[in-house]
Amino acid sequence: MRSPRHPEATRQQTGVSQSRRRHESLVLGLLRQHGPLTRSELGDLCGLSRTTLYDVVGVLMDSGAVNASVPKVNGRRRGRPAETLSLNSWAADLLGIDFARQAVRVAAMATVHGSVSSASELHAPDASWEERVDVARRLTRTLTGGTLRLDAITGIGVGVTGPVGPLEDDASGSIRRDAVSALVSERFGIPAYLDSNTRLATLAERTWGAAIDEQDVLYLCLSHSVGGGLVVGGALHRGAHGLSGQFGHITVDPEGGPCTCGRVGCLETVASIGAVLDAHGSATDVPQLVAALEAGDQAAYSALARAGAYVGKVLADLCNAFGPSLVVLGGELTDTGPALMVPLRRELDAHVTCRGSRTPLRVRPAELGDVGAALGGVALLLHRQSVDIGRPLALSPTVP
C-alpha cells in the first residue's frame, strides 16, 4: 500500500504546480497577443529566467499547445535562423464553467483563432457539487470535436449562482467559494477562478455581446433569481467584498412577501420567474407564460406588467446612482417581450434623470443567451492575462 504523502510535501508540490501554471499562462498569453516569437523575444517580454522559460516551453511543446519551427530564409545567410514558437492552431487553453441552478454549461476558447465551442447538460436539483463538477469534466471532453486536452488548458473561469464573497457558508445551503475553487482545481488539475455567474455574464456581454466596447454598463438578469453586474470605466466592478450586483435584494415593497435573503419585499419577490408564475397562477414555466400571452390571457399581462413596473423603477434608481451609458437585460423572463418591456421602459423613462436632456437611455437585450456566464469565465481569464480580446467571437454550435 502506498504510504500517505506528507502534508508539507503536498503543499510544496501544489505551490510548484501553481507557479508552473502561471508561467505557462503567461507564455501562452504572450504568444496569443504577439504571434510567433523566438525564445529570446519571449524572454524579453515575460521576464522569466532562461532556465525557467526553456522548461515552460518544453512542457507546452510536449502538451501540443506550442509548436516550434525554423523559418525559411530566402538567399544566402550565415548561421541557422532562430527557431520561432507559435500556438498550435487546434489547442484550446481557456475554459469557462457555469454552475447554473439546474444545469452545467462549459465553453472553451481555441488558442489562436478565438473560436469558442460550448456544451451544456441539465442535472437534478439535489445534485452534489462533486456530481456537478464531474458533469463539467465530461462536457469539457466533448468540446472542439473531442480533441480538447486538459493538459493544454491553463486556467478555468467558474461562475456560480448567488453572491460570491467571503461571508458565504454552508449554513445557508451554499458552499464557500474557496471550497468550489479547490474542488474544481482538484478535479481538473488546473487553477480555477470563481465569480458570480451574473457578473461573468456581464463581462461576456461587455466583451463579445450587447455591450461590446461600452465603458459603463449595467446588466440585469431576470431569471429564477434576480441579479446582475456593473462595468465601470471598462472594468468589471466587484465591490470591496466581491458582493456587488445583488440587485434582486433591493427592497421595492416594504409590506411584501418574504425573500430568500431573510428580508421582505425584495425585487426578487416580484420579478423572478417564480414570483411572476405565482402571480399568474396557471403557467408553470416561461414558455407556458408566453403561450398564455399569445392567447390573450389578461392575468399573464397583469403579472408581467407588475413585474416590469417594479424592475423599471429599480433600474431608474440604479441608473441615477451609477450613470451607465447602456442597460443590458438578460434572463429567461425577457422572452415574454413587450408584456414585460413596455411597462419596464415606461417606468424607467419616467424616473431616470441621468440621461442626456434629449437622448433616451439605451436598453438592449443580452445577446449571448444561456452560455453567457460560461463565456464570461473565458473572458475573465483573458482579462487576467491582459490579452487583447477585441476580436469577434466565433461560437460553434452548442453540443446537446
pLDDT tens-digit series, residues 11-21: 333 344 557 76
| Calpha distance 282→277 (Å, rounded) | 7
Report which DSSP code applies to 223. Answer: S
pLDDT tens-digit series, residues 34-74: 888 999 999 999 989 999 999 989 888 886 778 888 766 65
Neighbours of 337 (CB within 10 A): 12
Tallying the residues shown for the chain, one arrives at 400
Question: Do 364 and 210 contact (CB within 8 A), yes or no?
Answer: yes
Q: Classify 79 as helix, strand or coil.
A: coil
State the pLDDT confidence band at 90, using cuts at 50, 70 and 90: low
| Calpha distance 176→166 (Å, rounded) | 8
Neighbours of 80 (CB within 10 A): 8
Question: Do 261 and 270 contact (CB within 8 A), yes or no?
Answer: no
Question: Do 272 and 222 contact (CB within 8 A), yes or no?
Answer: yes
| pLDDT (mean) for 78-101 | 77
Residue 231 has pLDDT above 70, yes or no: yes
Percent of the chain with pLDDT strictly greater than 90: 56
Quick one: pLDDT at residue 8?
Answer: 42
Neighbours of 371 (CB within 10 A): 21
Neighbours of 102 (CB within 10 A): 13
| Calpha distance 307→270 (Å, rounded) | 6
| pLDDT (mean) for 68-96 | 71
| Calpha distance 80→69 (Å, rounded) | 12
Nearest 5°: the CA angle 382, 385, 387 is 65
Distance of CA 8 to the CA centre of its chain: 34
Q: Which residue do the cell numbers 450587447 mark?
A: 210
Residue 170 has pLDDT above 70, yes or no: no
Amino acid, res. 378: V
Q: Classify 235 as helix, strand or coil.
A: strand
Residue 58 host element (H or E): helix 50-63
Residue 142 has pLDDT above 60, yes or no: yes
Grid cell digits, residue 360:
433616451
Q: Which bin fits 262, alpha (ψ -120 to 50), beta or left (φ > 0)?
A: left
Residue 337 has pLDDT above 50, yes or no: yes
Residue 173 has pLDDT above 50, yes or no: no
Quick one: pLDDT at residue 74?
Answer: 59
Grid cell digits, residue 146:
473531442
Residue 345 has pLDDT above 90, yes or no: yes
Lowest-confidence segment of 15-24, 118-127, 346-355 by average pLDDT: 15-24
Residue 316 has pLDDT above 90, yes or no: yes
Residue 357 has pLDDT above 90, yes or no: no
Query: pTM above 0.85?
Result: no
Question: Do 251 and 268 contact (CB within 8 A), yes or no?
Answer: no
Residue 10 has pLDDT above 60, yes or no: no
Which whole-number Å values give the CA distances from 386 to 23, 42, 289, 380, 382, in the listed order?
14, 16, 43, 10, 6
Percent of the chain with pLDDT strictly greater than 70: 78
Question: Do 246 and 262 contact (CB within 8 A), yes or no?
Answer: no
Residue 6 host element (H or E): none
Q: Name which residue leads in pLDDT, 146 or 373.
A: 373
Quick one: pLDDT at residue 152?
Answer: 65
Quick one: pLDDT at residue 11?
Answer: 38
Q: Name which residue leads in pLDDT, 392 or 362.
A: 362
pLDDT tens-digit series, residues 242-282: 789 999 999 999 999 999 999 999 999 999 999 999 999 99
Nearest to 316 by CA among 301, 304, 324, 254: 324
Quick one: pLDDT at residue 387?
Answer: 44
Quick one: pLDDT at residue 175?
Answer: 55
Nearest to 210 by CA among 391, 313, 218: 218
Quick one: pLDDT at residue 91?
Answer: 56
Quick one: pLDDT at residue 221?
Answer: 97
Dihedral sign for Cα 377, 117, 84, 55, please: positive
Mean pLDDT of the chain: 83
Q: Name which residue leads in pLDDT, 241 or 57.
A: 57
Q: Name which residue leads in pLDDT, 147 or 366.
A: 366
Residue 197 has pLDDT above 50, yes or no: yes
Q: Which residues pair with 364 in a beta bridge?
A: 328
| pLDDT (mean) for 297-326 | 97
Residue 165 has pLDDT above 60, yes or no: no
